[in-house]
Structure 1
């Protein structure tokens, strides 16, 4: 995990003075690499010993070493592959890095997910007349996966990865319809416009997207997830996993709200697959 990721991960556990230093660095890490210790202390409104103590908390020998590692964390990654992977990494190294960064992203998302937003989204879904999942690009397969989960709830459920179909569905939407708009950045112009069209027709829009993004502002409720992934430059990896987990959370919430009686319906669907599978092999003696 890069130094920047470590700072973000431990932000909530820092004391008040160290948190000020972290905020300055996270707000503009590139500028922080060019600051002297006195300049960083002044910008953070703390003393120089506090800055030194902060640096040593992150397993550096002091401020100069901290700046070197900070610069390295900004430069790491193989463009268009993954920010955690280097060009010369071995199979073992890049495999371990992908697993480790994904686990870290899931843990980070777990800590920051807004429970009231989850509750509100489940409220909308449980009352929906029909549900549509929208996803463009890498979010398209995530929308399709959501359809596989939610069709079990005895509701009309569809998924779209075509922008023209999304626009038409949004234009035909009514009060009681729920559209789940999935976008990591929340900056895709088409998706934002589609959310606005849907809401203008009375539909509810649940955004799975970045906090404070244009799509978040255009949604009825937003489930945001912090993942340090620049999808403008790298392949989307951890962001898709977090999206899938949040959709599992929503599907579970809807299932529990339906009550114990609904489990018989779910069992009937699962039992329908038994005839399509070979029986389990007996355990070896």
Structure 2
């Protein structure tokens, strides 16, 4: 942190007297529970503090100098982490050697997979595969870092005899999502579960099933979904996204893909073989 630059905690204390009664209540909660706040969606924070609406949270972070809730949480996480670049089971610091970074990433990833092994039950995965199997069209939705996982999902499921759609253009997606059909399925990926471009077009969908992969099942996305895969990693990032979580998100896609292949029998295996052959001319 630059000399003279206030921490998030100092900004809250400096502006405390100018806050409303509800704002002070929120400030007190943030100061006492910063570790919890950085893992909460804006709706979850408002609910737990006992506020009437999310607008109080918006006024709070704007009053202390932040333009968005995400910026506020990232700054708060940075204050907690100090010189830590990433806190994910094991802190990674700016003076770590390449060997330490490698070992910490691998050990943290292994632990993350182990922690989610029992969390994703057979019933949950079977239900996800059932929804995908009965769908005529699969729409993969995600922006920013989540777009990479959504694109990967679209690529994996494209081997099946289904219409697959993916785009990083939110306007194009909004048009597609206006014309959802009963046998459509949306796979929506958002770590925060509060991405407006994902949530708003899906709030009033008709008939189509929604599978969410998110870091918070109580988020806005989680609440409107038919099925939720909650990928929750205890990591604090200063200026990075939820790194380890993306490995788990990709694993969910691969597990669902494999279940569909197994359930599809010889027909799907033949489709998979044909798909592989279509790439043969791209290799020496």
Q: TM-score range by the shorter chain?
A: 0.5 to 0.7
Structure that is richer in strand per residue: 2
Which of residues 219, 238, 247 is equivalent to 2:244? 238
Does residue 151 (structure 1) correspond to residue 155 (structure 2)? The answer is: no
Tell me the TM-score normalized by structure 2.
0.67
Tell me the TM-score normalized by structure 1.
0.66
Which of residues 264, 267, 276 is equivalent to 2:270? 264
Give the deviation of 1:172 after TM superposition: 1.0
Per-residue CA shift, 1:230-269, capped at 9, x if unaligned?
A: 4685333111111100010111111112112321221122
Structure that is richer in helix per residue: 1
Per-residue CA shift, 1:76-103, capped at 9, x if unaligned?
A: 4656x42221121111111211222122
The two structures, once aligned, show a CA RMSD in angstroms of 2.4
Q: How many residues align?
A: 207
CA distance in 1, matches of 2:35, 2:184: 45
Give the deviation of 1:117 after TM superposition: 2.1
What's 2:47 paired with?
none
Q: Is the alpha carbon distance of 1:78 and 1:105 closer, same or farther for their aligned partners in structure 2, counting shifts above 3 Å?
A: farther
What's 1:12 paired with?
none
Per-residue CA shift, 1:90-134, capped at 9, x if unaligned?
A: 111112112221221121122311332221111110010100100
CA distance in 2, matches of 1:125, 1:231: 33
Q: Is the 8 A contact 2:86 2:237 kept in 1?
A: no
Higher RCO (CA < 8 A, seq sep 6+): 2
Secondary structure of 1:153's partner? coil
Q: Is the 8 A contact 2:186 2:209 kept in 1?
A: yes
Q: Is the 8 A contact 1:85 1:97 kept in 2?
A: yes
Does residue 82 (structure 1) correspond to residue 89 (structure 2)? The answer is: no
Q: Is the alpha carbon distance of 1:229 and 1:160 closer, same or farther for their aligned partners in structure 2, counting shifts above 3 Å?
A: farther
CA distance in 2, matches of 1:120, 1:232: 36
What's 2:101 paired with?
94
What's 2:258 paired with?
252
Give the deviation of 1:212 after TM superposition: 1.6
Q: Which runs of 5+ in 1 are unaligned?
A: 1-26, 32-73, 279-285
